[in-house]
Amino acid sequence: MDLALVVGLHLMHAIASLALVSIGLAVIFGMLRVINFAHGEFLMVGGYAFVLSAGAGVNLWLAMLVIAPAAVGMLGYLVERLVIRRLQGDVIATILATWGLSLFLVGLAATVLGYHQQGVAPPFGTIEIGSYTIGIYTFFVIGITVVVILALFAWLRWSRAGLLVRGTMQDGELAAGLGADTVRIRSATFVLGSALSGLAGAVLAPLAGVLPEIGATYVVKAFITVISGGATALTGTTLAAALFGLTSQAAAFLSRPVVGEVALLVVAVVLLRVLPTGITGRYFRKAL
Amino acid sequence: MLTVTGLRGGYGSIPVLNGVDLEVGTGVAAAVLGSNGMGKTTLMRALMGFLTVTAGQVVLDGRDVTDAPPQERARAGFGYMPQGQGVFLRMTVRDQLRYAMAAKGRPAGSLPGILDRFPALTPLLDRTGDALSGGERQLVALACCLSTRPRTLLLDEPTEGLQPSFVDQILELLIMLKRQDNLTILLAEQNLEFATALCDQVSIMRKGSIAATVPVAAIREASTDVDLLLAGEL
């Protein structure tokens, strides 16, 4: 019974982590169709923004929930203004430019901050479940993921800004013809995706630590999750994160963590073979 | 009042518009007639700012909008209905109407005003765009285009591929709106009957420019043979 509970919590935590890592990319790539190869580095910058400001004595929650998203949101604003907008949807150029940006950010972090950055220990301590010990922070990660996803759904579904974003993503020309400032809407959406990545990087930092190259461990999983999710970015990414998080964590329990990683890739390959347009290419087409 | 002078433009390096001159007075409905490939849709898209023009001028109600982006033209008074059922496919009719309001910075809440004019949309409010028939989509597109009360309508073949009952419905609606709101209308059309029923003047477009402009009265009295005009034999 205790084991089942602990295993269940670990599964949920795996799903939540994957969803967190992917949610910013779900907005930037899933909705805007901008291939941001620097997505992992956006998470890394969020992690550093959190760790450095917390280390400088800023309140932990302020650093995690406000400073990290704001910092990466600003980074996203600059990247959209100076790079993405100028490439006007040229896919190859965008991949090259964001890849370059990724290398630049890694190099910058390694040069300026080095590899011995003091981390932040997970707050809250631990609790005992029978003979097992689990960090209370695990519950926090699950909780904040649920809150972020629900808030994003509600915002898209019911707010005026969410309405403008939905239409503009579906058909940019129709939107512009109706008078929507599509350039500004796309820019704001990019900033939102960046801020979500910053938040994710900060939330995961106490568990994963922060290193200049940590983005590389996130970016592949995030792209696989969003692509497998399909055209309906938010629902698709959530479902894909649930599927992949579940299988990889289950496989990791039954064998070793590396087998979990392999299981994720195998499931992704099979899924995309069966549903080439992702989960929402066939199901949940009317979701958000 | 819409004045187009010497408009040139196209796609990439392929010219499509070779100097279009056109004047549509306030409250006047003008049709641009021509067969496929003569540049009607390109003209409409150029007027709306979707392609770069290489020469010429577009003046709407005294304001030069030649270099303005589409959203500014929409806010300057253009209501554009694109060719081929311009609706958001994965959005409910209710949200599309709200979108049209929000896009121009109006409060997205007030649908009753639109539904008074388009009562046929009331039962469709919760359907998504891809669940509508061709005629229903045209009605939604027209309602979205009119929701913010534009002064000048650009209609790109609004009845293409529709069953006759919908054609009549859209025609009646447009005639009523034109009279009530003193709308200026520019209609790209292949259907001569529809064009003459709605419009006051008909321009013939041939190879990217306006070949002739005739008053509809002249066509009705059969003093001008449009078929010959279209074929380029007059």
pLDDT averaged over every residue in chain A: 89
> Within a domain: residue A105?
yes
Per-residue pLDDT tens digits for B107-140: 765 676 778 888 888 898 889 888 888 888 988 9
pLDDT of residue A184: 92
Residue B96 sits at φ, ψ, to 5 deg, of: -65, -40
Q: In terms of CA atoms, which chain A residue is nearest residue B94?
A: A163
Q: Determine what percent of chain A is predicted with pLDDT higher than 70.
A: 99
Q: Domains plus CATH for chain B? A: 2-231 (3.40.50.300)
- Does any domain span residue A288? no
Contacts of A286 in chain B (CB under 8 A): 90, 128
Answer whether B99 sits within 8 Å of A163, measured CB to CB.
yes
Residue A135 is assigned to a structural domain of this protein: yes
Residues 84-123 of B with CB under 8 A from A: 86-91, 95-96, 98-100, 102-105, 108
Look up the domain containing A244 and give its range: 2-282
Which range is least confidently modeled, A48-62, A92-106, A144-158, B202-216?
B202-216
Say which of A163, A171, A180 has its CB closest to residue B71.
A180
Task: Report yes or no: A159 at the B interface, CB cutoff 8 Å.
Answer: no
Q: Which is higher by pLDDT, B7 or A72?
A: A72
Is A160 close to B104, i.e. CB distance below 8 A?
no
Could you say which of A160, A171, A176 has the minimum Cβ distance to residue B102?
A160
Residue A62: its pLDDT value, please?
93
pLDDT at A50: 94
Query: Rounded mean pLDDT of chain B?
Result: 85
**ipTM, two decimals:** 0.86
Does a structural domain hold residue A287? no
- H helices of A159-232, in order, are 160-170, 172-177, 182-208, 214-229
* CATH code, domain with A240: 1.10.3470
Cβ pair B86:A179 closer than 8 A: no
Q: DSSP string covering B81-106, please?
A: E-TTT---TTSBHHHHHHHHHHHTTS
| CB nearest to B103's CB, from A179, A285, A286 | A179
Give pLDDT tens digits for A213-267.
888 889 988 998 998 888 888 888 999 998 999 898 888 888 888 888 888 889 8
pLDDT tens string B173-232: 889 888 888 889 999 988 888 888 899 998 888 888 888 888 888 777 766 666 666 666
Q: Which residue of A has its CA nearest to B46?
A: A177
Find all residues with CB under 8 Å of A270, minimum gap 6, and list them: none
Q: How many structural domains is chain A composed of?
A: 1
Within a domain: residue A237? yes
Nearest to A122 by CA among A133, A107, A111, A106: A133
| Residue A60 DSSP code | H
Angstroms from A172 CA to nearest CA on chain B: 10
On whether residue A45 sits in a domain, the answer given is yes
Q: Per the domain annotation, does A52 fall within a domain?
A: yes
In the predicted model, what is the mean pLDDT of residues A10-30? 91
Q: Is there a contact between A173 and B99 if contact means CB atoms under 8 Å apart?
A: no
Contact (CB, 8 A) for A141 and A18: no
pLDDT band, very low/low/confident/very high, at B150 (cuts 50, 70, 90): confident
Give tens-digit pLDDT for B56-66: 889 998 889 88
B-chain CB neighbours of A236 within 8 Å are none
Q: Is the pLDDT of residue A73 over 90?
A: yes
Closest CA relative to residue A224, chosen from A281, A266, A282: A266
* Angstroms from B99 CA to nearest CA on chain A: 6
Contact B74 A181 (CB under 8 A): no
- Residues of chain A with C-beta less than 8 angstroms from the C-beta of B98: 163
pLDDT at B223: 61
**A184 contact B CB<8A:** no
d(CA B171, CA A76): 48
Q: What contacts B46, CB < 8 A, 6 or more positions away?
A: B7, B9, B17, B53, B58
